[in-house]
Amino acid sequence: MNVAVYPGSFDPITLGHLNIIRRAAAVFDKLIVCVMVNSGKRPLFDPGERVDLIERTVARYPNVEVESSEALVVDFMKARGAKVIIKGLRAVSDFDWEFQIALVNRKLDDSIETLFMPSSEKYTYLSSSVVKEMAKYGADLNTFVPKEIIDDVLKKIESEGWR
């Protein structure tokens, strides 16, 4: 079985993330979306909430699973028999960072490959940070996040006092 892992913070999942998930799920037998902890970011949703939001969003894809992990991505992958990391790229600046991380992952486990998927052009501007900022100001989120989770994002922004 050809297994890939799409790691990220997904705080929250965006339509850009969902586009990468849809495309990667069409290529691999199994895609695991892994919510990772990023110590450099102040998350809006805790990992369990993010897993729930993503599961509701990807329910239509039978070969997509969602998990969370605090381990190194290569250790997470080893435990699941995965050999490919999926990374979406919006701009050249994403490539610089992701290329460095890919080299580190390869150094940790040379059997791991990283597949870079360019973002669909209509999502190149989109990030979870943009979503949180737009939600903070009450913008219409229909072009930013999957419809299944818009209310969750707005309620969380409100309850956390981000608005």
pLDDT digits (tens, 9 = 90+) for 40-52: 778 999 999 999 9
Active site residue 42: no
Q: Which residue segments constitute the domains of the chain, with CATH numbers given?
A: 3-159 (3.40.50.620)
Confidence of residue 163 (pLDDT cuts 50, 70, 90): low
Task: Round to whole Å and give the CA distance between 104 and 116.
Answer: 15
The verdict on whether 132 is a catalytic residue reads no
pLDDT at 73: 96
pLDDT at 50: 97
Contact 16, 143 (CB under 8 A): no
Annotated active-site residue in 9, 17, 69, 132? 17
Task: Output DSSP code: residue 37.
Answer: -
Please indicate whether residue 161 or residue 21 has the higher confidence score (pLDDT): 21
Give pLDDT tens digits for 54-86: 999 999 999 999 999 999 999 999 999 999 999
pLDDT higher than threshold 90 for residue 105 = yes
pLDDT tops 70 at residue 148: yes
The arithmetic mean of pLDDT across residues 113-138, rounded, is 93
Among 9, 68, 119, 128, the one annotated catalytic: 128
Report which of residues 93 and 162 the model is more confident about.
Answer: 93
- Tokens representing 7 are 């790691």
Task: Name the residue with higher pLDDT: 24 or 39.
Answer: 24
Catalytic site includes residue 17: yes
For the chain, what percent of residues have pLDDT higher than 70?
99
Q: What average pLDDT does the segment 17-43 reach? A: 93
Please name every residue paired with 35 in a beta bridge, in sequence order, or none if there are none: 8, 68
Best CA proximity match to 2, nearest among 111, 71, 81: 81
For the cut 90, the answer to whether the pLDDT of residue 1 exceeds it is no
**Catalytic residue selected from 41, 147, 155, 163:** 41
22, 23, 80, 90: the active-site residue: 90
138 CB burial (10 A radius; 0-12, 13-18, 19+): exposed
Judged against a pLDDT cut of 80, whether residue 161 lies above it is answered with: no
